[in-house]
Amino acid sequence: QVQLVQSGAEMKRPGSSVKISCETSGGTFSTYAISWVRQAPGQGPEYMGRIVPIFGTPNYAQNFQGRIKITADKSTNTVYLELSSLRFDDTALYYCARGLGASGAYYTVYLYWGQGTLVSVSS
Amino acid sequence: EFVLTQSPRTLSLSPGERATLSCRASQSVTSNFFAWYQQKPGQAPRLLIYATSTRATGIPDRFSGSGSGTDFTLSISRLQPEDFAVYYCQQYDSVPPMSTFGQGTKLEIK
């Protein structure tokens, strides 16, 4: 079955960068979009961006333009999220998630989720 | 900015009762690309409903979704103890790529 396994918790200073990974197994890696969705304490999920590995070009949500980078390594079935210029309000649980289907709108309705990576930003 | 507003923020009901959760969009949703998720403490969200009214695999038929335009509803008939959780609505699309979530409704035991 499809599994998404994320890297461990991170503690960062304001202004620094963080890079977290999401290794997928089961199913077809290249044709399904992997999205990054974060959830601050007590808040609803927030879409950050996605990549379809077979195409390679990521899409980013407006709120993160300029400080987000999503990449995919097809040799290891791993997707990475890099977020720079970290602020206190970037403290959240970051999830990778795979879409229900391999095309169109089904890229961003999420059937499979990673376990989440806690990123804490503190001085 | 596209915003989803869920109501009520907290809903207190007893097992066996029917729950009705609402989600209002700031702009009309022209497609049926609307979903609902359930989240329990310490877990990732779980997909319940997509395409407004289609249950995801393995979701019991006591969960149902409906709506159009700006108003969408998740109904849970005959609440079971395991249904008490936080529920999120989501609007999604591919052109342009987007995904917006509501702030959640907490369904708690009365």
Residues on chain A touching B9 (C-beta within 8 angstroms): none
Cβ distance of B92 and A104 shorter than 8 Å: no
- Cα separation, B86 vs B101, in Å, equals 13
Share of residues in chain B with pLDDT > 90 (%): 87
- Express each pLDDT in A20-39 by its tens digit: 999 999 888 888 999 999 99
pLDDT classification of B31: cutoffs 50, 70, 90: confident
Report the residue of chain A nearest B34, measured CA to CA: A109
Q: Contact B97/A104, CB-based, under 8 Å?
A: no
pLDDT tens digits, residue range A99-117?
Answer: 988 888 888 899 999 999 9
* CA proximity to B19, closest of B91, B106, B101: B106
β-pairing, B19-29 vs B4-7, is antiparallel
Residue A85 neighbours by CB distance under 10 Å: 11
**pLDDT exceeds 80 at position A83:** yes
B47 interaction partners in chain A (CB closer than 8 Å)? 100, 109-111
Average pLDDT over residues B29-36: 88
Contacting residues for A94 by C-beta, under 8 A, at least 6 apart? A6, A20, A36, A37, A38, A48, A81, A116, A117, A118, A119
Bridge-based pairing of strands B54-55 and B63-76 is unpaired
Contact in structure between A86 and A18 (CB atoms under 8 Å): yes
How confident is the model at residue B98, as a pLDDT? 84
For residue A60, what pLDDT is reported?
94
Q: Are A119 and A90 in contact (CB under 8 A)?
A: yes
